[in-house]
Structure 1
């Protein structure tokens, strides 16, 4: 068994190196080029339509939830514990310059996520319960068509479901930690999480969206505001932090700290990998949530994908990175996994520790709720609505399992299946990139949707 695990681990580690980055970054760049870099060209208009209309109810078209609710549901999956740990971790392992490349890759990821959502809306359909459903599986089946489209739709859905179920248990294990700090046993903590998830998830996408619409802004705001306060407490170190990021991006050996300077290629690879992992661009997961949104055009909803990557990587991950840089904690290798927590504790004492514990719990709880929904939708696509509901029940049972198992070897299988999801999704997206350009032109060349320069 160990030999099999070692083999899978070695293949997975290789695949999540340059091969997956070529597919994600190279494929994402190709898609962005074919779309005319919509994420940069129309950024002011996109910000106005998303950040400027977060709480607006003035939407037209068909759908089950508001555009913002769909976006917060998708964000609940991507904004999680990784945002507190992942960004600082690449500073410890590759140096501050990796953050610059994380930003660059996130710009490409904005285009990828935009494209995924646009096609998800175009090819969505109604299920037996009269609810809108969509995602890469539906997109490939209907967009690519034929036997190839059906096979790719089946594979991306099957791989995703196989990845999600054990991932739910892994997320639960991460979530019980903060509750254990409050005195609850691991089993009791898992039961509490299961009950909370069931209460939300069994209300369907509308209840999930109502939950994430309130929870995501609140929990993100608490973390962001507290993080900004700490950064301002070390404001004299902020210019040096940015200097290390920009200088280190092209000359990593010039920045001396807790890591030995690596090569420029290693730096780019580290930043790109963490950027992709953080915002989920390329997985296709966001389109399952966005397919339920009320919208009058696929491109209008696709703008929320750009909003998500900006919020996830551009804001939350950047704050996490700056926290360990301005406080100097990045120079101590022992702080790799607890750098942000130590920064909060140093600034606010036990209150800071409590803020991080609560933030971690809420981030992970919201993630679990949404990926339970994702698991249900994979079962529904593969085997029908009735089986989808059974998969939802199994997904909730996987939460409870988190109170009893350690799942040490699960990460190997999770990375392997996730790699297959990303590869299949990106190949399909590249094949359909011409359709995305047609939809972009249809939107931005129509005065009904895009008034022109005066609203840029």
Structure 2
């Protein structure tokens, strides 16, 4: 058995029924117990984005969200959605929606726990995330270390390097005929220039680049959707129908079962918005706030922006233009969709620029996540030498990421993602009573001034 076949078998186990049920089941449980918080408290969550920073921490709540979004808005929004629909058919988009809807509740819970159980490391930086709420909340040091090991694995071999670098390299070669080695070299130098400055420099870049690139891409998608507006309703009908009915082969599409659509939709949804993965809590823990629930609400909006908004727009563009059942795949498939709404050159450049910006910021975000996991494992023993070792290893993997086979990259990324999610989801379930108690406390206190005002009147 070769390595590819072995990895395929491992991936099938990791993303089998147990993990899928754990992901969706945790989100469903929290959705019900929190009384559809992701629906009824979404306006409050959006308003908190603009609340002035107050309390201890390294970053404003908005900067922490942008840092988290820099890691989530990446190739998953362009290549990941295209891959999901190519393999699972239009119905995969429905399962991405479902994973995102329940994932909003999960994202709220994990980021709220990150602030509640955060601490300060030996360097004086805020330290938080699943490894800390697993250790300090559950008292399971071994599970916390296991999460950190998988977190470093995702940074090195999953979302953090290979998938992003390969996507950037392919896009630059197709659009501008730039050799892969040139892209790899320039990208490595750019990442080094930003990441060696620490989380504040990463956050500064993210605050400027993430909102701009997301808005630009959404406007580009809106342009295509307006041009094909009469196809939007049929496309949505096709998504819903395909989610529960096998899709026959057509054109370059090989056909898909409902199980394929469900599995690939949820897996790609998690790759894109990272709800339940345990990555966003690491950034959320650095927020300048004294209220865990408020940061949980702010962080929850990340899944809304990433999947409910951006991934949906990408998916609809792919479906209404008909490229999903053609011969193109990945970024080339999305480029073809944009070219259908205008010129091929404009379509190619829109996707290339968006893909490069999305993937670059994802690399920055995951450098930070992996470093925090690495420091948790080695900080007291290796100190700054250990951090430098991590940084050099990360940069070395970026340099070689452009030369690895695409299907191997995505399979490896999916596998390490699933492994990282499992300890985090176990912790969320184990701390569910803390989540519910903190939420009830916050909203009870928030309602008290209103109740007094009503009584006095």
Structures share fold, TM-score greater than 0.5: yes
Local SS of the residue matching 1:446: helix
What is the aligned length?
444
Residues 1:398 and 2:392 aligned together: no
Aligned with 1:63: secondary structure? Answer: coil
CA contact (8 A) 2:19 2:422 kept: yes
SS of the equivalent of 1:284 reads coil
Q: State the match for 1:246 in structure 2.
A: 240
Counterparts of 2:12 and 2:209, CA distance in 1: 35
Distance 2:374 2:254 in 1: 46
Q: Answer yes or no: is 1:378 the counterpart of 2:373.
A: yes
Distance 1:434 1:170, change over 3 A: same
**Cα displacement (A) at 1:362:** 1.0
Q: 2:213 aligns with which of 205, 212, 219?
A: 219
* TM-score computed with the length of structure 1 as normaliser: 0.89
1:55-454 correspondence to structure 2 within 5 Å: 58-145=52-139, 149-167=140-158, 168-180=161-173, 181-251=175-245, 264-334=258-328, 338-349=332-343, 350-384=345-379, 385-386=383-384, 387-402=386-401, 409=408, 412-447=411-446
Name the CA shift for 1:352/1:336 in 2 (closer, same or farther; >3 Å): closer
Q: Deviations over 1:240-262 (max 9, x none)?
A: 22222234444556998875875
Relative to 1, partners in 2 of residues 1:448 and 1:102: Cα closer, same or farther, differing over 3 Å? Answer: same
Question: Which structure 2 segments of 5+ residues have no match?
Answer: none
Task: Name the CA distance, whole Å, in 2 between partners of 1:219 and 1:421.
Answer: 28
Counterpart Cα distance in 2 of 1:451 and 1:314: 32
Alpha-carbon RMSD: 2.7
CA distance in 2, matches of 1:107, 1:285: 18
Does the 8 Å CA contact 1:373/1:392 hold for their aligned counterparts?
no
How far is the alpha carbon of 1:446 from its aligned partner?
Answer: 0.7
1:203-239 Cα deviation digits (max 9, x unpaired)? 1111111100110111111111011001101112122
Give, in whole Å, the separation in 2 of the partners of 1:230 and 1:411.
28
Residues 27-46 of structure 1: matches in 2 within 5 Å?
27-46=26-45
Kept in 1, the 8 Å contact 2:118–2:132? The answer is: yes
Contact 2:78 2:331 in 1 (8 A): no
On the 8 A contact 2:146/2:423 being kept in 1, the answer is: yes
**Partner Cα distance (2:5, 2:229) in 1:** 46
Deviation at 1:83, TM superposition (A): 0.8
Change (3 A) 1:404 1:320: closer
For 2:92 and 2:200, the matched residues in 1 are separated by 39
Change (3 A) 1:248 1:380: same
Partners of 1:451 and 1:300 in 2: how far apart?
A: 18
* Distance change in 2, residues 1:310/1:185 (3 Å): same
Distance 2:242 2:407 in 1: 35
- Structure 1 gap segments, 5+ residues each: none
For 2:32 and 2:306, locate their aligned partners in 1 and report how far apart those are by CA, in whole Å. 23
TM-score, normalisation: structure 2: 0.89
My pick for the range that moved more, 319-328 or 177-186, is 177-186
- CA pair 417-442 structure 1, distance change in 2 beyond 3 A: same
In structure 2, distance between residues paired with 1:35 and 1:229 = 37
Write the deviation string for residues 292-324 of structure 1: whole angstroms up to 9, x where unpaired.
111130110111222111101011100111102
Q: Show the counterpart of 1:10.
A: 9
Distance (Å, rounded) in 2 between the aligned partners of 1:343 and 1:407 = 21
Q: Is the 8 A contact 1:172 1:364 kept in 2?
A: yes
Q: CA 1:4–1:223 in 2, change beyond 3 Å: closer, same or farther? A: closer
